[in-house]
Amino acid sequence: MSGSRAIIAGAAVGLVCAVALGGCTPAPSPPSPTPTPGRTTASPTPSASPSSAAPAPVRTTTPTPKIGGWPIVDAVDAGPREYAIGTATLDARGVAVAYTVGSGDILDFVAERFGLPGPYIVALNQIRRGATGMLWEGDVLNLDPYTIASVGTINGEVLHEPAPTGMPEQR
């Protein structure tokens, strides 16, 4: 195709797109989200009366509790799988609070089983296991942020390492 034909063809395509999209309107804005922990929200501003200026919106922040930079979440057991065949210990609510490592388990697969990031599990266990993702059969991994100081072993031992940042009050 010669240069001028290519320019004409390109212009024609552009014109067709402009005509086709000419009647389109933008999608309506989604409704305002409900406040969630850790997000900044603005309080509604009352309408201004003619005699006074409207007050500035008040911003509030609800901090999300974190351990080692990771938001605190409940561990939900999705069941055994390859490289995560150990035994979960559940509390009365059915939330996984500890995990006994099985033969051949790998931390990333254990983390996936419970819907948690691997580094979060390491942070939960750093007092009693150190900052490692190494697993030995029979190790106990703590999955409960409120028992960091009392649950967890590494290769049959309990270490006494510094606490992770943001450790909540322990049970």
Tokens of 35: 């406040």
* 95, 98, 100, 104 alpha-carbon torsion, rounded to 10°: 80
Please tell me the predicted confidence (pLDDT) of residue 171. 87
CATH of 70-147, one of 1.10.10.10, 1.10.260.40, 3.10.350.10, 2.30.30.140: 3.10.350.10
Element (H, E) at 67: strand 66-67
| pLDDT tens sequence across 43-100 | 444 444 455 667 777 776 767 889 888 999 999 999 999 999 999 999 999 999 999 9
Q: How far is CA 82 from CA 17, 47, 79, 85, 102, in A?
A: 51, 60, 10, 6, 10
Q: How far is CA 64 from CA 12, 29, 56, 159, in A?
A: 54, 27, 25, 28
Q: Whole-angstrom distance between the N-terminal and C-terminal Cα of the chain? A: 77
